[in-house]
Structures are given as structure tokens and as C-alpha cells.
Structure 1
């Protein structure tokens, strides 16, 4: 038999337990390609133990080395185990050969990694339903993963005693310091001494400053950014972003600042032994109640840390996810990831920002410290929304759009502003290349949409001449109505409209004269022109405007 050579890390397992142990704890990987598909239990065994009841188990071979490890791998495979973990980051050639021959995956556990840590990590992944601690939404692991996505870095969260509470999954990009911190669940003391000497902790505990910590190649340490997690002047912990194989994102510091603000409430729960996931769910529910008007705003304000008379700007976001060809589960995951990204961006922009989901759209509520924002401040908010859309488009792969819906003078007015955002997003969907708009720039278009919807509720308000023109186009296969509408929209500029319709100017003039004859309209009369424009626009857009009873544009017309 040919012995495998090298660490054999090219062998890939899709199981979350194996991915976690390899990516985050530095375990080596060898054995049968693609295995295991299922792991349902973690079992600790020693040489000489009777191996039974191991179906689909990850076996931790404690104390087994050399020939004992080879024998245990073979026996575990015969007992139905899914994988075996043995001591040594790179399994010996004999162990790897036995694994390939038996068709089982073998993990090599580094010498510095405790067996109880391996067991705890594996069981944490299984306990999370196979998703892994880092994939659970609404906790520090999820927040760390969101920050890693936004910064292109390797993220970890520490409490005030420098214990590692959560971290992102970033494959092999972790440096030696991060590996040692995760293995020991705390930052090594020599490096802590350097940080204290440089005043890093003093600086991050004094406010929102993002501190850069230079790389130290001689210590196996890459460049880092760190933010303090503080609440009410009390330091609760730190949030770290380590530079991986590529430079950190341009605005990594802003993402880090927002995430540190979001992490504060979760670390409060950590210190007081609370349930942070329940707290986050409660906060999300209260934010949704504020957005939709289900609860009295003044009662919520104190709980959410917002003044009851505060104004609040609202930004509405739609991911524009595809309706077909995608499972509901993947859509839900994408929405949850997007909510995390919006939350980090919003917290960086405004400390007491709230984010909620309604009607499949994401709404950021940004309480104002003073009166309603000025025009310049609204432009600043629009630029922030544009940066947010850029980040969401990059990470979701969908044509995300956003609308700055305006400012609610009081928290009680947020539902009305939310409705404006919802309607504006519906209008913006017709212009997919436009990423961001403000309600102010869409006011005229929304007014026209309102009038069209009103026409839909009053079927008795119709111009008989325009109705006759639409019937004529249906019967003749002509497009007199379309040409007349373009002519009216173009202020009678025959040359420009003819070019748009790709016809000769004389052809357009003929169509307009013919349309006037069929309808009896006097196109020199402004009221006639306005009535014709509204009726024609309703016919052309009635269906997309959601107008009940809208008479669709002739489908047999040449377009």
C-alpha cells in the first residue's frame, strides 16, 4: 500500500463540526475524500475501550498514539463512526493510510489543544442544529461574522478579562496570536503586556476611538483594529479585527464602531447572566412595534433609550431578491445577513439606531438629537444610504435599492413615514439602475401615482374620447395612444419624440392629428392636454400602479 504523504489538507468535509475544528482550531485533516456526511454525537474513547454504539459519531481517541491510534481508527470505522480525532496536528502516515483504507475521516488535534475544548466545540456545533455557534443569528458569533464580512478581516470579541467570547470563521487566515487566543480562550499574557504598555486598552475604554495595533511579524501577529465595547462609561470588553490575507476594507473602522455599539447590550447580559438572544429578540420586536405603530411610542422610548419627543429619520431598504428559482430558506438567510449589515452600518451612523423588518423590507430608524434635519443633513443621510446599498449589493448579490423616506417629527409618526418609504420603494423598482432616492425627489412621481390610484377607484371618471382611442388601437393594431402620450410628455417636441419612438417626424405628426380627430381633444387647451395625459398614463401604468379596474394598454399594438 502506498502511504499518503504530507498533511493531506486537501481532503474536504462538508460537515460543520469538521469545518469548525479545521478552520478555527487548527486541526489537520486526512482520510476518505468527502466524508463524513453526518455526525450525530461526540464520543470519547481510550485504547482498550470496547467500541460499539458509534454510528455517525465523532470519536475522540484520547491517549492513542502510534499503533494504538491505527488500531482505534480501524475499529471505529468498523463500528460505524463518521470520523476519528487523534493527537498530532498532522496524522502519521500510518494513521492516514488506515483512514483511507477504512473509508473514514481522521482529524489531527494539535498538541496544545485540550481534548475538552475539542469536545465542547464539536458539541456546540451539534447543539446549534448543525449550523455552528458562529452561524446563529442574534448573538455575538453572528455579529462577529457580520463584521468579518464587512471588513474582510478576522474578528473576535473579548470581555473585560480578555476572555474570548465569540469569533468569526475565516478559514486559515488567523494568525498565531488568534489561534493561541482561541485555543486558550484568552489573549496570551505577553501580548497583553505590550498592549497595556502602548495604552491600547486605556484609549478604547475612553470612548468610540478605533485604535490600530501594528503588526509584529516576529511574534506571528498581523495588523489589527480594536474598538472598546462600553456602556454608561463602564468598559465591558473589546472587539478586534485582524487583517487576513488581504487588506482590511476601506471603512473597516466604521463597521467596527457600529458593531461595538451593538455588542454593548449583549455584554451587559453576559455580565448579569442574562439571555442575550432573548434580549435581542425583545428589542427587535419592540423596534418592529415602533415601526408599525403596534405599541405606544412614548412607552417604548424609555425602554429603547430614546427621548419620547425625539424626531427620527427613516431609511427603507429592499434587497430585490428574486421571486423564483430560490428556496425560501436561502432567502431568509440572505435577509438575516442583510439585517446584520444594516444594523452595523446604522449603529455606526447613529448610536441609538433601530432596525426592523416589515413586508420583507428593512427599515432603519435613526433618532435625531435635535430638530428635523436640514437639507444638508438629508444629503448626508442619502450618502450614507448609498454607502449602505453598495455594501449590501456587494454581499447579497442582488440589486438592492433604498429610499430616504423622511423624518418623523415624533416617534409616533414613524409608521406614516415608513408607509411613505414603502410606497417610494415600489415606485423606485421601476428604475432598477437607480440605487438610492429620497422621498423629496420622488414627490411628483408619487403624486401622479396617487392620482392614478384615485382614478382606479372612480371608474366613472374617464374621458370618452381617450377610451375611444384605446379601443381604436386595439381594433387596428395601431399605437396612436402611445404616440400621443409620448408627444404630451415631450411638450410637443416632435423631433425628440419621433427619435425616441424611432419614427419619422411626419409619421408622428400624422399620428397626433389622427389621435386628436378620434378623441375630439383640443390639444391647444391645457385642460384637454392634462385630462388626456392622466387618462393615457392610467391606461399605460394602471396595472403596475396597482389600480383596480385599470384598462391595460393594447397588447396588439406595435411597440
Structure 2
């Protein structure tokens, strides 16, 4: 049976520096899933019958008198199952407490200096990480939950832990006793910056520079002037960066010494925690938005399948075609740079939107895609794509190929069109002399031939053992029989031209061709034997990454 975050768990995560429980008529194990701001619009109580309210409300912009009247109306007019579970308030009057008790709603006092947007963000993040857990499951894994990571680091170091982003905004922190949290710690978890003088002192002492430039922990001594306790800290650095520029700093983990000295192994703990936090923050920054995921599903990613009518209404595009899909892929040997491609997709989106405002762009894996709804002219799309490839090449130093799938029969046909573009890109990006922009119709010979050779190479039962005999002979004897056959077939049996290509005498080539035919037991005068041999040799070249001569298998 599923369970969500309880009020007691939520308050433990928030810590009493931010919020303390005042009353809980239904106990502190009530479920808290959704959080919302309580404003004047919520006081009207005109929700459709049976529609429940959020489990938690933050009393923002509403006085105690209005909130009290709202709670009384809840007790009178709203079924108990549909009422909120808890109200967070900075000014808890006796009348408010009494009305909340009558409505069965818990009251939590929020620190007067806490920023409401910070409290909302924290509650939303905490409940979001815990939603969907079952009683038999463990808490969220440390590599997905910064609050769980902060709590684990606190237990290992015996300190008070804060995890901040690169703008020193708190992302997560460990539970603590307010009596041992110094002023900087308290202000940080309340969503407010530390004293400006203390921040300037950190800058002057080079603390920020060391966090940026060092991959290890640094020591920050106590400062009586600012009433701070001893700290150790480590920068959270971009994961997986090898070569090129230095890894970006994504944030910082701070550990404040509490009521007892920090554990001697704390620096080692922080190094491991920084690696975990880096992965979490990096994934969160790169995670697509709900709109981006929806577009990717339209293109067939993540299982595909969208409600076409709802999608068209949401994005303001026509659901019916004809449309055009353009795919862009990097040429073979260009390497992979995900960060670069993230910048490229932004620039591509600008160019595509200038061409047609209702376009949709996305990146799936290493490839970029654009959908132009209701586009009738493939030639205009091709001209645009060639210009974009040139501009992206100049700006980012990229060599790209483009593939157009058109006409596309509306939004329902986009996934098929993307698959068609991928078929073209799979094979044209490997050819150094391929057209910069093409279609399946223009590249059908290249695409079908490559797919046929791939199918032959992937099926052992279609592999001719006679060619294996030839290749084994060449390996044992340092021979050139296979190369001689390749040249002979490439020149359509013209011995003199093939011998000139190899730099040998025509009689030498004739001998090699006879020897190869005898070894394999094939008849090179037979059209069928020659065709099969060409396919088999081409399949082996394709599997090994060798390039065929233009126009040949």
C-alpha cells in the first residue's frame, strides 16, 4: 500500500530552525503531498463538489482573521476527507489555533524571518522526493535525494550540513537543533544570505577561490565577530569532465561544527558526498521540462504516444499535415560533447523559430530535430537546413548532416518521420562526400545498401564460409588475394585497370584471381557468384568500418 510523506517526517526535514509544530488535532502522521499558497481566492470556497484541497497551505498575504474565518467555513461546509491537513503560519493567534482545531487542521509556526518562497520550495522538493514510496521500501537513494544525502553526511561527520548551488542558494540541509546552529546556518536555512560582512570576509580570505579551484575540502575557522562556529566545505564540481576546460563548480557542501567536534574522517566523507551531489545537480540541470518531454514523446522517444488533439491545443499547432521533420546529426569521427550540443540546440531553436514561429525543436540522444507543421515546400526546408548547417558549423566548429522527412501526415506521423530521418542520418553521416542535406528518396540506394550489408553482417547463417577461407589464407601467408579480388570486382573485371590500381603486373593479378577462385571454389564467370562475392566482401568492409569506393558495394 502506498504512503506519502507524513507531517512528522516533513517537519524533521525542515528542522525547527524553520518550522515548529503548534497543534496537530489528527496527529503528526497525517499525509502531506501537495502544498499551496493560501490567498484571498481560496477564501471564497467555491470549489466544485468533491474536489479536495491541497494537503498543506502556506498563509501568505492573508491575515489571521481571514484565515480563521476560512478554517471555520471548512469545519462547517467541507467534508473532513477533503480538508487540508496542515496550515503553515508566521502569526499564530489563539483564535486561529481554535478554528484549526475545530476543522481538524494542524498548525505549524514558521520562523518570522523565513522567506515564504524558500519554505514553499523546500516543502515541494521534500514531498516530491518522497511521493510514491511504499511502506516496504527504503527512503530515497542518496544518489537521487539531496536531503537524504545531507542527513547522511551529518550523521557521519557529527556536524550540521547545508548543500548550496553555485549562487549560494540552499538546496538541502540536515535536521538540527537550533541551539547549536550559528547565525549564518540559521539564516541560510531560512532562505536569507549570511551577514554581508561575513560574506566579504570569506571573499577576502580566498575561501570562494579555493572552493572553485580545489577538489578537496577546505577549513573555515570560527569567527567570533560573526558568532560562527568552525566549518569545513568542499566544492561540488561538474562530473565527468576530462581534458579541455576545468570542470564547472555546481555548488558547495558546508559542514558546521555542532555541539561536538567533527569526526576525523569528515574530509573523506565530504569528498564522496561532493561526487554524489554533483551527479544529482547535474542530472537536475539537464533534466528536460514537462513540455520538452512531451515533445520528445511526440517524436517517438520515452515510449512515444501522445494525445494529438491535446498536444496541438497545448502548443498552439495544427494537428494535421502536411508537415516536415528535419533531423541533424554530427558527422562520423566528430566525437561527443553533450554540453556543446546543449548550446547548439538553443541556437538551432532560434534559427528554426525565425523560419517558422510554430516550429517545435528537440534533442534526442546526440541528434537534433525540428518539426515544421503545415509545411508544403521541401525545397524551402532544404534551403533553410543547408544555411543552418553552415551557420552552426561556423559558430560551433561542427560538421553536421541533415535529413528531411516530408510530407509528414500531421502530428500523429511525427515519430515515423523521425525514424525515417534517422535511417538517412545513420548512413550519410559516415560518408565524407555525402550531401549536407538529403532525403530518403535521394539517398535510398545508400541507405538500403547499408542496411542490407548490416543485416548480412549480423546474421552468421548469411556469412559465406568460403570468404573466411580466403581471409584465413591471407592472414597465414601475408597474402593479398582479398585486396586483389576487391580491385578486380571494383573495375568490373578489367585486369589492366585493376593491376594499375594495385601497382602490380597484370599477369600477377590474373594469377591471384585464379588462385582465389580455386581456393574458394567459385566461378567468377558466373553473375550470381560475382554478385554474392561482392556482397560478402562489402559486408565485411562495413563491419570493420572500411569505406567502399564511390558507386560500389
Q: TM-score normalised to the size of structure 2? A: 0.44
Larger Rg: 2
